[in-house]
Structure formats: C-alpha cells, structure tokens
Structure 1
C-alpha cells in the first residue's frame, strides 16, 4: 500500500500505468476506489495517481484539519514529494473543487483540470449535505447508522448505477472519522471559487449529469461563465457519479480532453479506451 509522509499526515495513494502523470481526486465520503475503472482504462496512456484525502480511505491527518485549503496543500505537497513538476488534475465533486483551488493557487503545477459534478459555489450543495456540515447534526448522523445509510441511499439512487454506487459510498463512509465527516463538507459549503477561477488560462472541462441531486448540475454553467477557458460536457443519463452511470462516454471524453486539451464534441459518444492487462488489487 503506497504511502507518503507530509507535514500534516500520511497520504495513501494508488499509482498505476505509464506515461505522463495524471492526479485523480475523489469526492466527499469517497476514496481512491472511485477511480478503479478509470485507472484501468487510462493506464496505457498515463501514469495515474489516485489519492485518498486526509480522513478518507487510508490517509491519516495529524493536526485534525480537514478543510478545503488543507486538501489543496495536500495535493501541493504530494506533487513536491514525488517530484511531479506539473500534471493534469481530475477531481470528482469535492475533489474537483480542490483541483480548481490548486490551479488557482499553484498554477505553475497544473496543466489542465477536469471536474466531475463539482461545486463551484458551496450553495449548490444538496441541503442535506449543508446540514451535516454543522458539528451537532454531523455527530447525530455519524453515530446513527440508519440515518447515515438512509442519507447515502437518497443521494445515490438517481443514477443508472444506483445500487453499486450506494454500496461503494457506504463502504467508504465507514472509514471516515466524524471530524473529517463534518469539517470537509462544512468548508466546502462555505467555498466560492467564482473569483479565483476567473484568471485561469489553462484548459478546463466540466462534466455534469442532468440527474445530479448532490450538486446542482447548473454548476456547469457557472464554471463556463466564470472560467474563460472552460467547456462543459453534459450527460443526460447520469447523476452525480458520471463515471459509473455512463462509463464509456465519460472515459473517452476524459481521455480526449487529457490528450488534446479539448473534446471535439462533448455531446457525442466516443469509443471507450482499450483496457490494459492488469489493474491494482488493493
């Protein structure tokens, strides 16, 4: 299990493939497991690094800081420790917001950014998620398995891959500490990147699903409005977990963007990338 020691804690990550580096960042209550199929498909073209944020998966934070700014610094230190001078960032939900924050604060290290169902404005989060950003409510939900499981079910049932996504998120949530649970979503709720992304000149692609009930899909329009280089890929049959709901089109569009900096036609299906021979097993 690859790990890396930073000033704030131990970072677990998975690395796979060959070629140019690409860093993958998961969302709230997630882990690197979200990207298992993605790194399998992209491994023949890129060397992929899938990180567990502090407090999620197998990463451990020593100072108890599970805020948006600390996650941006995690990515910054991760790249420094591994000698990754510059790379594209791909982030789902909270991970996409962190990716844009990294691009705004350390633009010299970021080649391009792909965000999937990511909030640009924290007010776009589902009201249930806004509530668990408060410590008292978070502790109640965290300590009451039925409440937490029911919330996860309600938030993951609207995509094509509802049952597998629910099980994946439920398993990942079982590893999250209560402080990471409420601090991370609380700081995301209060984030607004509209000013920070206005000066970005690197390629940006936003992936948004029509049936997303976790983050308003209208955030794709907000991204395009405020980031001058951004374009949007709209997925009519997806919820929040586009990579699970429409995997072939998602991966082909993402690969095209990473290779070319743009997608020739984000609204059309593109043939999925060929699978490499083996994938990580842990």
Structure 2
C-alpha cells in the first residue's frame, strides 16, 4: 500500500493525477454559443445568448456560478430568459474552461474582473444573478460598482460565515490543492458530494454529474479552487463591507433543504438588504436554477421585468 502511495506521488510530480487537458475539455464542453475573451492573462469562456425580437435593445443579465461549477449550471435559465434578455454566463476565473487566474486568489478578484469584463464587452449596465460563490461575486460587484448594476438575484448566496461541507472544508487547508492534484479523485466520491446539493437526488442526471467531474479534473482547477477556499478560510469568511452599499432591488432565492448554506442565511441577507424580497422553495436544495429551473426562472423573470 505504501508503495502504491509512493508511486502515485512520483507520478504526481510529473503532472496532475487524472487531469484532463484543456483541448479535451473544449471538445466536450463548449457550445455553439461559446465565446472566449483575453482578460487578466486568461482566455475567459462565456456564453452570450439573446433570442429577443430586438437584440440591440435587450437588457443584459449576467449569470455567475458557484464553487467548482461552470456556466453550464445556467443552461436552463439561459434557454428561458434569453427570449427577454441578453443572457451572459461566465466560467469565472479559477473554474470551468477559464481555469486558474495567473495571480491565484486575492481581494476583489471577482468584482474587479467583472468590471473589466463588462468594459470589454461594452456593457454599461446589467442585472446579475449569482448562486453560492457567484452570489458573493454579485453583491460585491453591485456594492463596489453600483452604477453598473440594475438589479441583483441571490440564489443560496455565500456571504456570511458558515461551516462548509467536509470536502470543501478539507480543500481549504494548507497544501490541500496540491494534495488534491496529486491524488486520484474517485468518481463515485465526487458524485456523492454533488448529490448533496440537490433536495431530490433523482433530478440530478448522469450527464450533469459527469460534467461536474470533468471540469473539476480540468488541469489546474483543483489547485485553483482550493486557493479560493483557502483565501476565504484564512479570512474567516467574506468581507461584507460592500454589502452595505447594495441599494439596488434584490431578489433572494433559497432552497429550504439547502445542505450547504443554511436557510437562516436567507434571513441574514434579508436583514442586511431591507429592500430585498425573498422566495423560499420548499422542495429544493442548494441550486434552484438547476433543480427547479422553470419555477425559479419564472420568478426571476417577474422580478427583472418589474
């Protein structure tokens, strides 16, 4: 057994164990609408979809995914909402096909990135929807660049201190990113972790499970994601200072059966953002846009069109 471990470690020094090359990832996970833009030393993957009658006049909605996820988590919302909006979903730095940020993780990485991204695409104003870690990106951007943001939707958003699932907790420890890259990642263990994000496990299809595993194994993503978790851990949570500057209309969406970020956090956001309206989904976990796409997208559309 010790010999097998040593062989694994030796192989690891030659490259990440089980890593899937970017070329393979591009072949598997780009779509007809995939686009790329060079920003901050990264080739950023995003989708820009508008099926409106007058695309040039369509309001912009930017969608931001959570930890170890990708823009694909918004596929259903994109299909539904692109009839009324120019819907842009992004593989955020350190995740998805975009991969690791060359500077790793640092303060205001995501809000400053979004500022540059919107400038590069000529977007002067937009609305935002963010899930989990993407929720943090959304309210931080809205608080720091308020002139660019019309409305904000927070889906089971990160922002206040909580104890994450054990697998995320362990990946925030020192050397965890290196260890995760040097050791095999059992597919079944990854699937089991992803299933904890859903209230009704049967709603999580095999192709979706395989996509999450694939993009987790994209070269560089394990270490990059661990750096994000370590950054948050070392600061005992999130800097909520920008939250005080969020004055835009806000819709809070939460799954009552969220096993990752407790339902009580919806109340924390409602208290911090008195202008917010809250919707709780009784039969839902951590990702309403995936588990209840039609219902959550309809609620989002009603809020955005008010």
Task: Specify the TM-score bucket, using the shorter chain as the normaliser.
Answer: 0.7 to 0.9
Could you tell me which runs of 5 or more consecutive residues in structure 1 were left unpaired when the two chains were aligned.
261-282
Which residue of 211, 215, 219 maps to 1:172? 215
Following TM superposition, where does structure 1 have runs of at least 4 consecutive aligned residues deviating by more than 6 angstroms?
none
Count of aligned positions: 260
| 2:155 matched residue in structure 1 | 116
For residue 34 of structure 1, report the CA deviation from its aligned partner. 0.8
Q: Map Cα deviations across residues 185-205 of structure 1 (whole Å, 9 max, x no partner).
A: 223444334443123210111
Name 2:3's counterpart in structure 1: none
Are the counterparts in 1 of residues 215 and 221 from structure 2 also a CA contact under 8 Å? no
The match for 2:192 among 148, 153, 157 is: 153
Q: Distance in 2 between matches of 1:102 and 1:195?
A: 12
Q: 1:62 to 1:29 in 2, by over 3 A?
A: closer
Give the superposition deviation at 1:68: 5.9
In the alignment, which residue of structure 2 is the partner of 1:234? 280
CA RMSD of aligned residues (A): 2.2
Contact 1:89 1:114 in 2 (8 A): yes
Say whether residues 1:103 and 2:142 are aligned partners.
yes
2:263 corresponds to: 217
Give the 3-state SS of the residue equivalent to 1:237 in structure 2: coil
Q: CA deviation at 1:138?
A: 3.5
Distance 1:156 1:188, change over 3 A: farther
Structure 1 counterpart of 2:22: none
Q: What is the CA distance between 1:66 and its match in structure 2?
A: 3.4
Out of 45, 67, 91, which is 1:12 matched to? 45
Q: Is the 8 A contact 2:180 2:223 kept in 1?
A: no
**1:1-282 equivalent positions in 2, closer than 5 A:** 1-17=34-50, 18=55, 19-61=58-100, 63-67=102-106, 69-146=108-185, 149-157=188-196, 158-160=198-200, 161-164=203-206, 165-175=208-218, 177-189=221-233, 190=235, 191-260=237-306
Residues 118 and 34 of structure 1: CA distance in aligned 2, closer, same or farther (over 3 Å): same
Contact 1:200 1:228 in 2 (8 A): no
Q: CA-to-partner distance for each residue in 1:131-164, whole Å, 9 max, x for gaps?
A: 2112323433444344575155134244222345
Q: Secondary structure at the match of 1:63?
A: coil
Secondary structure at the counterpart of residue 48 of structure 2: strand
Please tell me whether the aligned partners of residues 32 and 57 of structure 1 are also in contact (alpha carbons under 8 angstroms). Answer: yes
Map of 1:270 onto structure 2: none
**Where do 5+ consecutive residues of structure 2 fail to align?**
1-33
Distance 2:39 2:294 in 1: 36
Alpha-carbon distance, 1:102 to partner? 0.4
